[in-house]
Amino acid sequence: NAGVMQNPRHLVRRRGQEARLRCSPMKGHSHVYWYRQLPEEGLKFMVYLQKENIIDESGMPKERFSAEFPKEGPSILRIQQVVRGDSAAYFCASSGEGVGSPLHFGNGTRLTVT
Amino acid sequence: QKEVEQNSGPLSVPEGAIASLNCTYSDRGSQSFFWYRQYSGKSPELIMFIYSNGDKEDGRFTAQLNKASQYVSLLIRDSQPSDSATYLCAVRKGAQKLVFGQGTRLTINP
């Protein structure tokens, strides 16, 4: 499967725990984006990364949230000390080089905080 | 003003008719425009993208772009019940992030 791979598909955490969401981009893609979607709402941009660099984190909450895309391995979105309001679908997308390259999305991780 | 605006719907269209979905954007520097389809509980899937003014056709889908009016639309001909989904308009400036509208929910009635 050469598509964007996200895991886990579903993640349940209790308040105060940490959530780690993983994303492997499509083969040949070096740009990774994370979006959050609440029920019945649109996709909200969180962060844009290239290998080892954060390019744009303007949509990322200042506290508890962090993202990385190391030289080796998947991109990780980490949420520390989760709260109920973090419950959402988190989608990762990747794109190739070139201005205007479309984003291709993974299946998402549904995070539920109890 | 939102960066990308869509009518949230729901938009109801009879089977076989043309569905017309509209989107406006605020940043005149936007260069590329995308339409995604999202079924309930699923991830967005790319339908079409357009960069130049005018029309771009792909099967039953036509994207239309008017940069002077900052307007992009998607037409779906011969609508099928399987086209029932939420359609997301997205806009991009250069190699930056994709900014999405809130989506239009489309229902095709048999």
B12-64: pLDDT as tens digits: 999 999 999 999 999 998 999 999 999 999 999 999 999 999 999 999 999 99
Tokens matching residue B71: 């307007």
- Tell me the CA distances in angstroms from A60 to A37, A57, A92, B18, B47, one per residue in order: 13, 5, 14, 39, 27
Contact B34 A103 (CB under 8 A): yes
Residue range A35-74, pLDDT digits in tens: 999 987 889 999 999 988 999 999 999 999 999 999 999 9
Q: Which of B21, B8, B3 shows the shortest CA–CA distance to B97?
A: B3
- Tell me the CA distances in angstroms from A31 to A69, B72, B105, one per residue in order: 9, 25, 29
* Closest partner CB to A99 (pick from B31, B97, B102): B31
Question: What single-letter amino acid sits at A95?
Answer: S
Report the b/e string of A39-52 with b at 16+ CB within 10 A: eeebbebbbbbeee
Give the strand pairing for B61-66 and B71-76: antiparallel
